[in-house]
Chain A
Amino acid sequence: MTAPAPKRLLWLLAPVAAFAATLALLTAVQGGGGAAPSLSSVDADIDAARVQGASIAELQETLRDDPSNVAAYTALGASYLQRARETSDPAYYSRAEQAFDAARRLSPTDADAVIGLGTLALARHDFSRGLELGLEAEPLAPESPRPLAVLADAQIELGRYADAARTLDRMVALKPNLTSYARISYFRELHGDLTGAAKAMALAVSAGSGSLENVAYVQTLLGNLELQRGHVAAARAAYRQALAGLPTYLPADAGLARIDASAGRTAAAIERYRGVVARRPLPEYAIALAEAELAGGRDRAARSDLGLVRAEAQLLRAAGVNVDVEISLFEADHGDPAEAIRLGERALAAAPSVRSEDALGWALTRSGDPAAGLEHARRALRLGSADPSFLYHAGVAARESGHDALGRMWLERALEHRVALSPYHAQRAEEALR
């Protein structure tokens, strides 16, 4: 197990910690000579056992009684991250940060605290900070795959793909399971190996997890990969499996909406997307909804939904989340190309990944500089990605900068994967081919 194993005697010993603490206190109060023995490593084990499976309220209570319980702070931080995901309320990020910071103040070398902060940095898209913390965590938890997960995610988003490959290789050698399989799948996907990516993701699904949400997550990603491969029935089955396990899992709902949209069932897609946005008004869902509406000729509704995007982006920024790449693409497609360039440049400077290259390239192309856009688009495709959105952006840049054959090839490839494009962009890719 990667976490301290929730197996047998740890639980059984859990209450001992309280008694050990009481005993130490009694000894001190009574001025007794017999000091409690040094049990620090055992205490840490027991603290970890006590907090496993506890709710946020239980952890807060534990911390009121025992404000030096490092494991309770790190578990509390992780619980807040989980709540952030369940509620989409990014305010939980700062609570998570406070909990992890408190743990680190108490125990600067606590691996869980550093890993938690690293994970938080990644969730906020501060990939440089994620890398620092991943590197810091590694010697604190040697022979554990968990710091390597933080490290690999940061390396991928910073464009350090060769480093990421080595990290992932070490991680999967230590622990082949859902966490390492899912990351390898993404790495393969980035390199255009959709078949290999789907195979790795199927391994992740089969391995499963104790968390329904983790399972739904990998099932949904498998659905997305199947969609990119044009296997619509397999994609639908994967999304439905995710929803069978966790009926409220919105990313899978959004996947079904994508299938509806690409099949021309625009009204059904809009209805489904609307349900998703109503529960979780994230920029990516609001954009998908608006683009379905635009494709269906409902321009007024689309304008109103696009208006949501900037407001949501502000909320996320206020919680410390960097949304530069997402909003750069949004501004390039539906807003202000100059702002798109500004955000794209900032994103690329912070994280020189293929995603950032794609965003800046598209911003330049949309603002009338397709030659500069093409430069970045080439770099976005340098790993061999089959992402239809990258290919569409590259194709338009090439066509508009006079590289007709190249542009045609990219656009045709983008349209081979058209079910994974929103119909709005698929229509534009077709127009660009004419």
Chain B
Amino acid sequence: MRKLSIGAALVAAAIAVPLSIGSSHREAPNIALDPTADNTDTYAFTAKDAPGSLTVVANWIPGEVPANGPNFFRFDDRARYYIHIDNDGDGREDVSYRFVFNSRVNPDSYLQAFPGVSSIDDPKLYQAQTYDIIRETHKANGKEKEKRIANNLPAAPSYAGPKTFPNYGNVAVGAIRNLKSGGKVFAGQRDDPFFVDLGAIFDAANLRAGTGNQGEGKDDLSGMSTHSIVLQVPESKVTKNHRAVSGPDADNAVVGVWSTTERKKIEVTNADFDSNKKSKGKWVQVSRLGNPLVNEVVIPAGKKDKFNRTRPHNDAANYGQYVVEPELAKILNALYDIHAPETDRTDIVQALLQGLPGLNQQTDDPLPVDTLKLNLGVPPAETENRFGVIGGDNAGFPNGRRLGDDVVDIELQVVAGILKGNAVPLGDGVDQNDKPFFDVFPYLPGPDSGFDSDPSSRTEPPHDPVPAGGGS
């Protein structure tokens, strides 16, 4: 059976805390998995069809299974969704794009739509979301100013099925909008571009066969969807000198990118209690995501909430120790005897937090911060290598992150020590997404329909280990 149990809904069912039986006494759930505020992935790259622009893909809501009616997935109207850019390397946002959503529901119907929706503004679409974009510019001491750069843009609805949406692609294309100030934006449901074999990666068969990176993995996220914001803006909107980037060595070339979600801290009572006055009406960051898998690989279980609350400029102080001596290296050695260095891993600190010298460091003495650092001056690769920089393709992860970068394999191999000369063909056996990406905006393929409640699945064909000849 496919491991759909990883879906957040089922996880929540297992750990949600129940109400009491037979009582008027009130017990709200204790643990609410919070999918609408859960950043799952962030991508930052220069798209081949948009040189001179920064393209960011930020995803929320993990594990959307297609058949989810009648409560279809949506962004939370009361949350703030952010894409942040740090253009001077201090780990603080200099330019932020804030997305706020507004749902419109037809009060006379519990259906998402009347069958036959043909466009994004079709009145047959009963449940629709629109959003505004506010562009904030910050100084180190806080917010400088903000400007609403878009109003009432339509978000692509969840794909209920072909009866509701005879041509879902047409409807979704209608959600691509140009920004007056330059660039494009899309928000709504998409295929989850992450790919990973959750179950079989360290399966006994793979262990016998080697350390994994030779195909035959099953993509456990194939057929799953997510909610994406895709933003493409001219480089001049995000660089520190407000200019386009002239080349990879330009002083303004490297930007740090991450995404966050905020919810409002409300007062316990409307009357004055002795609550902290300073926090009145404050927005609280409840999730963040820069580099992939950092919260999973690097941050210990007890610190994950804290990680989601804290900001990149404090990362070195808060979490530096976990990066320098990653437990994953010890596990890999225990399992495979691959001689991964277990201490003093400044190479990992560089790859994930500081940037690689001569490629994507923001300053000469870079601060370790969990942002995706992208050198905008590096032209997109004609043919992408899924291993990115460690595969000789400097336009990919950890120089930013492209949709096709195989970050599971890259991070396993980096932890094994490939940047220190210890090349081991570790991997999960899945090399690419189940659906091909588009060459054009918004790059992400569409979601599977809710009508096909059994999502597609994809197994990687076998191939020789990559990199060849390394490891045990």
Contact = CB atoms under 8 A, between A and B. Distances in A.
Interface string A15-50: 110011001000000000000110101101100100
B30 A16 contact: no
B23 to A, nearest CB: 6
Q: Which of A16, A150, A162, A176 has the most chain B CB atoms inside 10 A of its CB?
A: A176
Nearest to A85: B18
B366 interface: no
B93 to A, nearest CB: 20
Contacts of A237: 107
B234 interface: no
Given A165-B269, A282-B22, 13 more contacts: A1-B308, A23-B334, A44-B301, A81-B17, A82-B14, A162-B273, A165-B275, A169-B276, A177-B263, A178-B28, A207-B34, A209-B32, A244-B71
Contacts of A84: 18, 21
B27 A1 contact: no
The 4 closest A-B pairs by CB, nearest first: A85-B18, A210-B12, A210-B33, A182-B28
B21 A123 contact: yes
B295 A48 contact: no
Given A42-B330, A53-B5, A210-B35, A153 B309 contact: no
Interface string A295-327: 000000000000000001000100001010110
B334 A172 contact: no
B437 interface: no
Contacts of B28: 149, 153, 178-179, 182-183, 186, 204, 217-218
Contacts of B201: 12, 15
Contact of A214 (B10, B29, B286): B29
B14 A54 contact: yes
Contacts of A240: 110
Nearest to A209: B32
Contact of B300 (A41, A244, A325): A41
Contacts of B25: 125, 157, 325, 355
Contacts of B220: 11
A20 B14 contact: no
A144 interface: yes
Nearest to A40: B327
B90 interface: no
Interface of A is mostly: helix
Contacts of A325: 23-25
A233 to B, nearest CB: 9
Contact of A213 (B13, B198, B269, B292): B13
7 contacts: A10-B296, A13-B202, A153-B26, A172-B265, A176-B284, A178-B32, A321-B20
A203 B264 contact: yes
A88 B22 contact: yes
B250 interface: no
B72 to A, nearest CB: 10
B32 A52 contact: no
Contact of A8 (B7, B194, B327, B328): B194
Contacts of B301: 4, 41, 44-45, 48
- Which size bracket describes the interface of B in this complex? 35 or more
Contacts of B388: none
B78 interface: yes
Chain A's interface size range is 35 or more
Given A209-B32, A217-B28, A282-B22, A166 B274 contact: yes
A187 B22 contact: no
A146 to B, nearest CB: 6
Given A178-B34, A316-B21, A169 B275 contact: yes
Given A8-B292, A84-B18, A165-B269, A42 B275 contact: no
A326 B196 contact: no
Contacts of B8: 6, 210
Interface in B240-263: 263
A78 interface: yes
A15 B199 contact: yes
Given A215-B71, A217-B29, A326-B22, A176 B264 contact: yes
B33 A176 contact: no
Contacts of B274: 165-166
B62 interface: yes
B455 to A, nearest CB: 16
Contacts of A263: none
A3 B33 contact: yes
Nearest to B335: A19
A173 B24 contact: no
Interface in A65-82: 75, 78-79, 81-82
Interface stretch (B36-44, B222-230, B348-356): B36-44
Interface in B264-289: 264-271, 273-276, 279, 282, 284, 286-287
Interface in B300-344: 300-302, 304-306, 308-309, 327-328, 330-331, 333-335
A95 to B, nearest CB: 13
Contacts of B275: 165-166, 169
Contact of B304 (A5, A79, A156, A162): A5
Contacts of B5: 53-55
Contacts of B31: 2-3, 78, 146, 179
B15 interface: yes
A90 B198 CA distance: 36
B173 interface: no
Contacts of B406: none
A11 B399 CA distance: 25
Given A23-B335, A90-B21, A115-B30, A7 B296 contact: yes
Contacts of B282: 173
Nearest to A176: B263
A14 interface: yes
B76 interface: yes
A9 B33 contact: no
Nearest to A93: B21
A360 to B, nearest CB: 15
Contacts of A2: 31-34, 305
